[in-house]
Amino acid sequence: MLRGAAAALAVVVLAAATACGSGGDKAGGASPGKPLVLTLESEDDPQLTGAPEFADAVARLSRGTLRIRLVKAGRGAEIGYERGTIDDVRSGRAQLGIVGVRVWDTMGVKSFRALLAPLLVDSLELEMRVLASSLPDRMLEGVERAGVVGVAVLPGPLRLPYGLSLSSTVPGWPPNEADRGPLGRLRIEDMPEIY
């Protein structure tokens, strides 16, 4: 049964490839008594990405010495907005970021192509098996060529389906152009290579 799992398996947590340099002592840690605060940027609603739970776990496990500040990037109307999040992490404006896997093929990273293939991951059960396997770790190695470090592949928010035509039997579909998200460069010609 298809439940949109392929569209949901879409989030990569990334970090800058260099050490965080946001104040603190000479070793890069927080000043005594003050937590080190890292910014995690995402365009998606943080409640849909697991970011609040991640921030809570970081604060708990670090006993309050490290905190994650969640920031919405504010680029949702821009084409290619997730590239902006990656640029913010590379430049240090944000120390962490969450982006969909669909952005990586536009940056020459091909390791996530299997997750972008339509209907390849066709159930929530298969999605969870993929996430629990060694496949995400191998896929994350590819993002280093973009100047960041992959931290995790997580199930992401459900995305709108796309097709080759605009016809649909669903009332109100397709949404207007402003409601559509960015597409990667995955093409029909790539399908035999992926499968």
Could you state, in order of their start, the residue ranges of all structural domains in the chain? 5-18+30-157
What are the residue ranges in the chain where pLDDT is below 50? 1-10, 19-26, 173-174, 176-195
CA distance 11 to 127: 12
Specify the pLDDT at position 130: 87
Q: Which amino acid is at 111?
A: S
| pTM across the whole model | 0.69
Query: How do 11-16 and 36-42 pair as beta strands?
Result: unpaired
**Residue 175: exposure state from Cβ atoms within 10 A (0-12, 13-18, ≥19):** exposed
Fold of 5-18+30-157: D-Maltodextrin-Binding Protein; domain 2 (3.40.190)
pLDDT of residue 33: 78
Residue 183 is predicted with a pLDDT of 47
Q: Which residues of 136-168 are buried (b: 16+ CB within 10 A; e: fewer)?
A: beebbebbeebbbbbbebbbbeebeeeeeeeee
**Across the strands, what pairs with 177?**
none
pLDDT at 100: 87
- What is the spatial distance between Cα 163 and Cα 119, in angstroms, rounded to a whole number? 12
What pLDDT score was predicted for residue 31? 57
